[in-house]
Amino acid sequence: MDPSTQGVTLMSEFVLDILAEYEHVRDVCAPAFEMARSVKPGGWVRIDLYNDVCSWIEENVGSVSMRQTGIAIGARAYEAILKSGTITAPTPLAMMEALRWAATVTVRDPRGRGWEIIESTDKSVTMRRTQTFNCTVQEGVLVSFIEKTGVEGIDVDHYTCTRRGDEFCQYRLTWV
């Protein structure tokens, strides 16, 4: 993966959504809130700011909390996608297509990176993250999107990860 963040911006709501999950512990997360003090809704921010806020929270609050944050954000994004009428039948594959599409609209990347669908079957989908989004948050978003479709027995295998030196983060989501 090209880890460059030069020229990459995303909607400010990405950062604000992360921080909204920590409003109840604002004092504990004061450094993360301070990083984003000038962020306003409806704008665009450098992806580096999103990455820095996520990294601070993950390092100081924990990865389990960041995965839960991704699940909460995924649930809100799922509802927004349904409300938009983009999807009429929310299947796991349709939701992954929606995620891939949403990344092209909400992130401005001169290299066009975001998400790729590597493989899908009736009981699984494999996704590749090609942008520097926090991988723990994204794992939660993926799980939430699949859960909301009504399938059961969801499992996620984050089998390659840039943090472990792999070129991409790849996630295999399965269900029964």
Residue type, 165: G
Q: Which pLDDT tens digit goes with each residue over 33-65?
A: 999 999 999 999 999 999 999 999 999 999 999
Within-domain flag for 37 = yes
The CATH number assigned to the domain holding 158 equals 3.90.1520.10
Within-domain flag for 107 = yes
Number of domains present in the structure of the chain: 1
How confident is the model at residue 89, as a pLDDT?
A: 85
- Beta strand spans in the chain (E): 9-11, 44-46, 107-108, 115-121, 124-129, 155-160, 169-174
The range of the structural domain enclosing residue 20 comes to 9-174
**Interacting residues of 124 by C-beta distance below 8 A, sequence separation 6+:** 172, 173, 174, 175
Within-domain flag for 4 = no
Q: Which pLDDT tens digit goes with each residue over 4-42?
A: 899 999 999 999 999 999 999 999 999 999 999 999 999
How confident is the model at residue 85, as a pLDDT?
A: 85
How confident is the model at residue 2, as a pLDDT?
A: 81
User: 174 near 129, Cβ under 8 Å?
Assistant: no
Cα–Cα dist 11/15, whole Å: 8
How confident is the model at residue 87, as a pLDDT?
A: 86
User: 103 near 131, Cβ under 8 Å?
Assistant: yes
Within-domain flag for 14 = yes
What is residue 154's three-state secondary structure? Answer: coil
Within-domain flag for 82 = yes
How confident is the model at residue 20, as a pLDDT?
A: 96
Determine what percent of the chain is predicted with pLDDT higher than 90.
87
Q: Which pLDDT tens digit goes with each residue over 65-105?
A: 999 999 999 998 899 888 888 888 899 999 999 999 989 99
Within-domain flag for 2 = no
